Amino acid sequence: MVQPKTRMPVPPRSSLGILISAFFTLFFLAPGNSHAQCAGVDAAIEICNYGDPANQSINLFDLLGPTAVPGGTWSDPSFSGGLNQTTGVLNAWNIHYSGVYVFTYTVAPSPGCPDNTAEVSVTVAGYVGVTSPNGSACSDDDNVNLFQFFDGSSPNPQFDGVWLDNDNTGAVTPDGIFNATMPGVGTYSFTYTMSAIGSCPAPAPVTAVVTVYRAPVPGTPVPLILCEDADFSLYTNLNLFDQLSGEDANGRWSEGDSGSTGQISGPFDSVINLQEVFNTYGPGKYQYKYTVFPENPVCTRKTATIDIIIEEILDFTGATLTVNSDICEDEIATASYSVVLTPGNEPKPYSDYSVDYHVTGPTTFDGTATVEDAFYGATGNVLTFPLDAALFQDIGTYTISIDHIIDLKSYNVCDNIIDVSDELHIYPNPKLTGATLSITQSCLGFDANVVVTGNPVYLPDGNYQFTYSLTGNNIANGETITAAIVNGVAHFSIPASLLAVSGSTTLLITNVINLQTNCASTASLSKAFNVNQLPNVSAITINAADACIGQSALISLTGLNTMTSIGVTYQLGGANVTTVQTANFTASSGQGSFTIPASFLLNTGSTGITILSIKDLVTGCAVDASITDSFIVHPLPDVSSLSAIVPNVCTGQTVSVLLSGLGGITTFRIAYSISGANTFTGQSAVLTASSGAAVFNIPAAQAANTGTSTFTITSLTDTQTGCPAPTNIPVNFSINPVPVVSNFNVIVPNVCAGEPLAVLLANLGTANSMTLTYNLSGINSATNQTQTVTVAAGSATFVIPQALVPNTGNTIITIINATNNDTGCSATGNIQKSFNINPLPDITTLTASVADACMGDQVVASVSGLGNLSTVSITYSLSGANSATNQTAIVPVNAGIAAFIIPTAILSNSGVSTLSITNILNSQTVCGANVTTVGASFKINARPVAPTAENAIFCSQETPSVSMLVPFGNQYHWYGSATNTDELSGETALTEGNYYVSETSNLGCESPRTMVTVSIATIEPPVLNTDGAFFCGADKPTLLDLTANVSATDEVRWYDAPQDGNLLAQDLLLQEGETYYGVQFSESVGCESSEVLEVTVSLTDCNENPSQYDFFIPDGFSPNGDSVNDTFRIPDIEFLYPDYSYEIYNRYGNILFRGNINKPAWDGTDNESGGGKIAPNGVYFYVIKFNKNNASSRQGRLYLNR
């Protein structure tokens, strides 16, 4: 704001006339001026009553005095907005800010008027306007203009006042903008104030009262976004309320702006079938609105819109990918590449996309491209993005594939379908660097074959054009030829027309072009080669040797001159006919040979051969020929019926082989081999046959080893024709060993009298059956006894008849002969083995006894009459109360007596049982005797059942002992463990742990033990909280309040003495200075804490403000002895003012009674004047001194009425 000049203020007036008269008064009081004031004199006014309608039209020209010349111009340098600069009339109501404003009047300069301007200073007082005063706002409105709650009458309030926040909401700005969202629902007042200005006082403030009403809450919508391939069966009953949170109830549902889906049947229908929506309308955006209404119309209804978006899958099936463009190697440095995705028949949304692509090839990498404005029709409805050329620096084929694409303006909930790729080729410039040339030696009149071998990287497969020249004996320039290159190798021919002169020629390749890529390079690859003369065959002769059918035939040639490596073509005729065949061979001194394969010689008889051409393989040059000869093909010997018989023999016998089926062969040679136990290869013999048969003895050296051998004839050759016949006639034969009796292992165990006597034999060899001859000697004797045995794995068993060994004692068996029944081979021997036949135990004087026992105790049986036995195995059985069979005890014998323990496991029943001995076995000889009449009866006495007992809990102060355990008595025994045998006395002090009790019967049997767990409970005492003993007696605290001030986990009990006190009730009122004794009581174990909490209570901890309590001073009492209101006493004063004192006066000012905390009650007698006179009925006066916190004394009167 522009600050006006300071002017003398004019006293306020209520009308324009008064203002003008005041102005003129000021004008004439102003200092004189000898010069003319053509613009008038400066003036100043104050507008303190801003609301006066007269302030809408103040003519400022009238304030300039009589010297002011009309026709001047007015200006408003402060931009007040209130001055009509044409008329000079000021409308103060158009000035919206209080302050001092200066307005300037200017007239045209003229002689005699040096001062052509005048100023009017106007002080505009503040104006706060008139409030409604009540207004309303909605709780969601953060921009409530408090000026809207004014009554709207003119003039409007000025703007430069300040709003006061009467309720300290913190939600209003000084310029009157109220944020109703901050304080919440309620009624709040705000006061608009303005300051005084000049001599104008501050206007009286006005107050606006605003009631904030709760705004309706439609809730926060949560969009549901699904892909079109989602399982919509999960959404057939979709409650739209599930997509809202924090909404008001009783709102109304409706379809959204996206259009009707027919799912909302009424305003309270919140359930839709999204599957039906999708099936009907497909992918898209569907909206449903929830509208809630306000409680007061100042708030508007509110709507939440739920978006349900079913996103469409972008299917790029049929799309094509094009990578631009293929280049040659020498273009890498300047190349650029782009990828173009054409969507195919189905257009794709015009949008921004993110494309994930993958590059494989010489370099492999993944990339992501962000493409803006893709599939825009004006740019060809395609998606295009560049590739970084720096990543394509190597020759080769790159495959660029796109497997993921995202529409960046979509919700990205669908996996779009795309699988497209294209190849980018960086072709090598064809290079012959490091390449080699191979040129076949050329013959006059023939093309020369050229092979170029290079690096496949620089010469990939394809068609190429080569440019070459010839120098030397043959000359050519600029010749071109096309050739295919496969795996870096190219083949082409130099035409014979360019090779007309024999001798050395050099090929030079000067350029190569890849016809597929059009990539080219210069070259300088050369190779020299010769053009050779043709062979001279005029002196060549041929000699063909006879052959056997199925075998090759040897062909020899002479007259080959200087050729060393030769190739021929030939043809057979006669008995064997072939097409044209080839054969290569070497020659020396003009001679050489080759063989005709046996596969061409399948027929016997005369066969002719014709040489058709001869080729010098060194030069590669060939000429036609016609050189002939013939030879005989003989048949092979017929061995189809050939057979051989080879008999089995024993070791040392001759092996004769009988051959038959030899047909008409008279002399022949066989080749044979022997394998198996005897091995010989490459053996032969020349034999003479008679009537188709021959005999052959295998040399003894070739049949020296026992076992199975195989005799095989591998070939038979007719010695007259020299033709062999291959055979494969294997015949097995065996050289059987004789039994080696000396290796036999004979085992004969000692036996008891009357038991079978088995002889065990081992190391009998491989025989399956064997016949043995043996003798017996010693206590038992027999000669030439035979026994046939079955042998398995070299072992056999037979039993010596009982009749041959009737006597106990030592006997010797001798094996004198053994025959292998499988082979008939036998041998003699002298193998001996001794054995004993032991006697049985003597049981004629055997007796048994068993002592009675308690159930579970050891039961010992004693057996006597065992003679001189040292250790026995006793077999016994039980019958009666307990039964068992075939029980065994192995025990030592002392002086003919053995004792053993009957296992408790088979003595599970009480009562009489009988022990029966069934067998006595001598443990040394293992010979036993069955027993039938020896036994003894005994009794198992039952044990009492385990006594019934419960776990015991003792309090720590009880000093518990064993005698306090239940049960307790002479028949009961207490122990410190389950196995300890030391009984505890009744005086034994108990500690926490397990104890065991048993009971003994009249028969002395002790029961099983019962475990009792002893717990000794130690209860912690309660703990007094800080200041927990301090109360205010006016609150009437009880022991329950004291309990609340202690820390304890269980019940707290209070007593009137630390020991043997009386239990106090929890509702007992606390007494000042009284001591209470607390313990903690555990109901679960029934114990109190041994330590006592001692608490002395103070009831003077009262609030500083007595008015908080029901504190009053009685105004009368009736000391008539009826025990009702017999004394004057001030309730609770001893708690609120413990140091108080008071005095009672009669109406004459005489003191009758002095009271305090120790003498609180007046009974209506005069205690001060002596004599204890009874005060009469009437009015008395009291003076109370509180003696606390400087509280003033209080006086009053009371009425005594007996």
Q: Rounded to whole angstroms, how far apart are CA atoms 1099 and 1077?
A: 17
Domain membership flag for residue 1101: no
1065: exposed, middle or buried (Cβ count in 10 Å: 0-12, 13-18, 19+) = exposed
What confidence score (pLDDT) does residue 1107 get? 62
- Give the long-range contacts of residues 645-650, CB within 8 A, separation 24 or more: 645/731, 646/698, 646/711, 646/731, 646/732, 646/733, 647/733, 648/733, 648/734, 648/735, 648/736, 648/823, 649/703, 649/733, 649/734, 649/735, 649/736, 650/735, 650/736, 650/737, 650/738, 650/823, 650/824, 650/825
Q: What distances in angstroms separate CA 1029 from CA 132, 148, 722, 1025, 1075, one per listed residue?
A: 59, 61, 140, 8, 10
User: Are residues 667 and 630 part of one domain?
Assistant: no
Query: Which residue, 499, 532, 565, sits at the end of a domain?
Result: 532
What DSSP state is assigned to residue 1060? S
User: Are residues 999 and 1060 part of one domain?
Assistant: no
Domain membership flag for residue 10: no
User: Are residues 115 and 36 part of one domain?
Assistant: yes
Query: Which residue, 1096, 1120, 1139, sits at the end of a domain?
Result: 1096
454: exposed, middle or buried (Cβ count in 10 Å: 0-12, 13-18, 19+) = buried
Domain membership flag for residue 1: no
- Domain membership of residue 855 as a residue range: 847-941
560 alpha carbon, distance to own chain's centre? 86
User: Are residues 285 and 228 part of one domain?
Assistant: yes
Kindly report the CA angle at 138 between 135 and 144, in degrees rounded to 5? 65
Are 812 and 804 spatial neighbours (Cβ–Cβ below 8 Å)? no
> At a CB cut-off of 8 Å and minimum separation 6, what does 699 contact?
none
With H, G, I as helix, E, B as strand and everything else as coil, classify residue 700.
helix
What DSSP state is assigned to residue 780? S
Q: Where are the alpha helices (DSSP H) in 1046-1190?
A: 1133-1136
User: Are residues 915 and 862 part of one domain?
Assistant: yes
User: Are residues 745 and 827 part of one domain?
Assistant: yes
> At a CB cut-off of 8 Å and minimum separation 6, what does 1034 contact?
1102, 1109, 1110, 1111, 1132, 1135, 1136
Q: Rounded to whole angstroms, how far apart are CA atoms 1101 and 1131?
A: 16
User: Are residues 461 and 401 part of one domain?
Assistant: no
Please state, as a whole number, how many other Cβ atoms lie within 10 Å of the Cβ of residue 632: 17
> At a CB cut-off of 8 Å and minimum separation 6, what does 1140 contact?
1130, 1133, 1134, 1156, 1157, 1184, 1185, 1186, 1187, 1188
Specify the DSSP element, H or E, that contains 271: strand 271-272
What confidence score (pLDDT) does residue 1110 get? 67
Please state, as a whole number, how many other Cβ atoms lie within 10 Å of the Cβ of residue 639: 22
Domain membership flag for residue 249: yes
Check which CATH number belongs to the domain holding 1133 and give it: 2.60.40
Number of domains present in the structure of the chain = 12
What DSSP state is assigned to residue 1042? H
Are 469 and 479 spatial neighbours (Cβ–Cβ below 8 Å)? yes
Ramachandran region, residue 558 (left: φ > 0; alpha: ψ -120 to 50; beta: rest) = beta
Query: Which residue, 65, 97, 124, sits at the end of a domain?
Result: 124
What confidence score (pLDDT) does residue 30 get? 36
Strand partners, 732: 710
User: Are residues 182 and 101 part of one domain?
Assistant: no
User: Are residues 887 and 856 part of one domain?
Assistant: yes
What confidence score (pLDDT) does residue 1104 get? 67
Domain membership flag for residue 671: yes
> At a CB cut-off of 8 Å and minimum separation 6, what does 599 contact?
none
Q: Dump strand ranges (E) for 1018-1050.
A: 1023-1024, 1046-1047
User: Are residues 365 and 275 part of one domain?
Assistant: no
Domain membership flag for residue 6: no
What confidence score (pLDDT) does residue 886 get? 94
What confidence score (pLDDT) does residue 20 get? 31
Domain membership flag for residue 473: yes
Q: What distances in angstroms separate CA 527 from CA 93, 471, 513, one per listed residue?
A: 116, 10, 20
Are 988 and 961 spatial neighbours (Cβ–Cβ below 8 Å)? yes
Check which CATH number belongs to the domain holding 853 and give it: 2.60.40.10
Residues of the chain with pLDDT under 70: 1-37, 378-379, 1104-1108, 1110, 1171
Q: What distances in angstroms separate CA 669 from CA 47, 645, 663, 719, 723, one per listed residue?
A: 161, 18, 14, 7, 11
Strand partners, 189: 209
Measured between its terminal Cα atoms, the distance across the chain in Å is 85
Q: Rounded to whole angstroms, how far apart are CA atoms 105 and 119?
A: 6
User: Are residues 150 and 209 part of one domain?
Assistant: yes
Ramachandran region, residue 67 (left: φ > 0; alpha: ψ -120 to 50; beta: rest) = alpha
What confidence score (pLDDT) does residue 1171 get? 64
What confidence score (pLDDT) does residue 121 get? 95
Scanning the structure block, which residue is given the tokens 């054009």?
465
Kindly report the CA angle at 468 between 463 and 471, in degrees rounded to 5? 155
Q: Rounded to whole angstroms, how far apart are CA atoms 941 and 855?
A: 6
Domain membership flag for residue 474: yes
User: Are residues 357 and 341 part of one domain?
Assistant: yes
Are 688 and 707 spatial neighbours (Cβ–Cβ below 8 Å)? no
